[in-house]
Structure 1
Amino acid sequence: MSCVIIVCAWLTFIPIRGETPKLLKPLAKPASANEYLAELQSDIKQDKNNAELWFQLGHAYLLKNEFDSALTCFDYAIRLSPSPTASQFAAKATSLYYLSSQRITPQVDLLLTKALELETNNLPALTLIANDHFYSFRYQDAIDTWVQILDSGQRDIDRVSIVESINRAKALGSVDL
């Protein structure tokens, strides 16, 4: 059970560090997750057609493990965006993945494919794929995906954490069962 929580937390923090989501307004003080969620909900009441606010609200729900609500928000973000982004598709895929008992369903696969067509090295999509490989005991596939992330040239990745994950997969892959 602890692996589920760790993966979810890791997957949901990655999009926040990259190009998306951008904070539309600075926070007056450090807010709790509930305060931030309430503020986003209030902002959306004022601007219901703001795709970026819906995207941020979706991430707030992901952080609270409220995957149904996150999925709804990501759907709105995609529909309201003139050109949906790879990160939006990857976020929706992440919500569906957890709603589907951590399985890559055909719908999750389609969303990940869209994300990677738009952005070959989309960090949230690749992270979800790598973690799914790892937790499905496909260690070499996980390693290959993590190496793709490392080789992508992105500066905002946690290289130490990825290398640790690769080493863990190598160790587990070499254990004779």
Structure 2
Amino acid sequence: MIKKIVMLFLLLCSLNVHAQIVDTWAFNSNEEQELSLQIASQLRCPQCQNQNLLESNAPTAVSMRHQVFKMVSEGKSESQIKRYMTERYGDFVLYNPPLTLSTLLLWLLPVFAVLCIIFILWKTLKVKNKINQPVILLDNAIPLIEKYNQTHSDIQLLPAINNEETLQHSHWNKISNTLILIIICIMIAGYFLLPRFHSTLDLYQRQNDPILLFTPLERETQDLQRLQADIRQSPENSELWAVLGEYYLYQNSYENALIAYGYALKYRGENAQLYAAIATVMYYQAGQVVTNDTQKMIDKALSLDKNEVTALMLLASDAFINANYTTAINIWQNLLDSNNPRVNRAQIIEAIHMAKLMENSGKQ
């Protein structure tokens, strides 16, 4: 009994706990941090789809979150940041997208579905009320039945009444089934009409131009086009290839990201950050699982820099997701001890506190 009371108390305490993503971004002031977090909380992660940028640890959310932080530090307003995000990722990143032709179905479909459900329930209750009032109907119909029986027998009368009720019930079933079928068809059609897509591979376009090794994205932004043009002018610039790899990582185009990071590693040489970036791509490509290849990339990154932040944060995040709280705490503590300027100490301390809380609750 005491154990149940303690568990209930911990559950009530957890209502006031707000989980925040562990990040390494260093803000210039508390006001800048507050504004950045406020804007990031209003934007949806395109990869997770049901989490905002602060709640998600997906690579797309991390990159978008950092872009928000960067634009806030540059003095951009909230409207400018949201406009930039919608131009790059579409209106889907907004929790309340504007009413346009492309989002009209998204806004009207729930209303139509609710109205149809209300109509079906109303008709069902109406039919049931008719069935549940036979005594009243018979009392009113007795004079008519007696008059009718002068020329017809009861055996002829009752089947006629039953047939009429059966026809009405059958007619209503057809209407309700048709409405349900229409709703299902609209929902299926809406899924394909909404702006979500996966571009197909164009293998026949592989030529000497390294840019054409990538599967084309349906909505290439001006930034991507400029970046591709810069790479064609300086094909051995490893920094440009790394930026391109990060861009494809934002788009969840993992194969393209690996190709870009491969070129960056080729022209830059052994680099801990690039190995950690490749490990991150492999990790999310495998569905947030540390495979043997991912572990090899992490090991290479840490062999070059034992305090490489991205690699250690990836290990800590994976340990936390898999409930290996002790391992996650140790890694985060090592990051704190390294005094790396890339580390956000306040957020890591908060993450350690959360991991300890989860660890203690699991032991009870």
Q: Report TM bin, short chain.
A: 0.7 to 0.9
Distance 1:38-1:160 versus aligned 2 partners, 3 A rule: farther
Could you list the per-position Cα deviations for residues 25-66 of structure 1 after superposition, in whole angstroms to 9, with x for gaps in the alignment? xxxxx9765443332222112111211110111112223332
Aligned partner of 1:40 in structure 2 is 227
Q: Within the alignment, does 1:155 sit opposite 2:332 as a pair?
A: no
Aligned partner of 2:324 in structure 1 is 138
Give the aligned residue type for 2:235: K
Could you list the per-position Cα deviations for residues 90-144 of structure 1 after superposition, in whole angstroms to 9, with x for gaps in the alignment? 0000001111111111100001000000001000100111101011110110111
Q: Within the alignment, does 1:126 sit opposite 2:306 as a pair?
A: no
Give the aligned residue type for 2:58: C
Q: Distance in 2 between matches of 1:13 and 1:159?
A: 21
Distance 1:41-1:52 versus aligned 2 partners, 3 A rule: same
Say which of 355, 358, 361 aligns to 1:169.
355
Asked if the contact 1:11–1:124 (Cα under 8 Å) also holds between the matched residues in 2, the reply is no
Aligned partner of 1:24 in structure 2 is none
Q: Within the alignment, does 1:99 sit opposite 2:99 as a pair?
A: no
Give the aligned residue type for 1:109: Q
Aligned partner of 1:114 in structure 2 is 300
Report % sequence identity. Answer: 32
Say which of 54, 57, 76 aligns to 2:244.
57
Q: Within the alignment, does 1:85 sit opposite 2:271 as a pair?
A: yes
Deviation at 1:12, TM superposition (A): 5.0
Distance 1:55-1:128 versus aligned 2 partners, 3 A rule: same
Distance 1:3-1:150 versus aligned 2 partners, 3 A rule: farther
Distance 1:150-1:165 versus aligned 2 partners, 3 A rule: same
Q: Distance in 2 between matches of 1:95 and 1:143?
A: 24
Asked if the contact 1:58–1:74 (Cα under 8 Å) also holds between the matched residues in 2, the reply is yes
Asked if the contact 1:143–1:166 (Cα under 8 Å) also holds between the matched residues in 2, the reply is yes
Asked if the contact 1:14–1:124 (Cα under 8 Å) also holds between the matched residues in 2, the reply is no
Q: Distance in 1 between matches of 2:256 and 2:275?
A: 15
Distance 1:3-1:109 versus aligned 2 partners, 3 A rule: farther
Give the aligned residue type for 2:356: K
Distance 1:140-1:12 versus aligned 2 partners, 3 A rule: farther
Q: Distance in 1 between matches of 2:289 and 2:314?
A: 11
Q: Which is higher, the Rg of structure 1 or of structure 2?
A: 2
The two structures have a TM-score, normalised by structure 2, of 0.41
Asked if the contact 2:309–2:342 (Cα under 8 Å) also holds between the matched residues in 1, the reply is no
Q: Distance in 1 between matches of 2:254 and 2:345?
A: 27
Asked if the contact 1:15–1:124 (Cα under 8 Å) also holds between the matched residues in 2, the reply is no
Asked if the contact 1:112–1:125 (Cα under 8 Å) also holds between the matched residues in 2, the reply is yes
Q: Within the alignment, does 1:8 sit opposite 2:195 as a pair?
A: no
Secondary structure, in 3 states, of the residue corresponding to 2:270? coil
Asked if the contact 1:130–1:146 (Cα under 8 Å) also holds between the matched residues in 2, the reply is yes
Secondary structure, in 3 states, of the residue corresponding to 1:175? helix
Q: Distance in 1 between matches of 2:264 and 2:248?
A: 14
Deviation at 1:73, TM superposition (A): 0.8
Greater RCO structure (CA 8 Å; 6+ sep): 1
The two structures have a TM-score, normalised by structure 1, of 0.81
RMSD: 2.7
Q: Distance in 1 between matches of 2:309 and 2:355?
A: 19
State the aligned residue count: 163
Say which of 56, 64, 69 aligns to 2:256.
69
Where structure 2 has 5 or more consecutive residues not aligned to the other structure, the ranges are: 1-47, 68-80, 89-220
Aligned partner of 1:19 in structure 2 is none
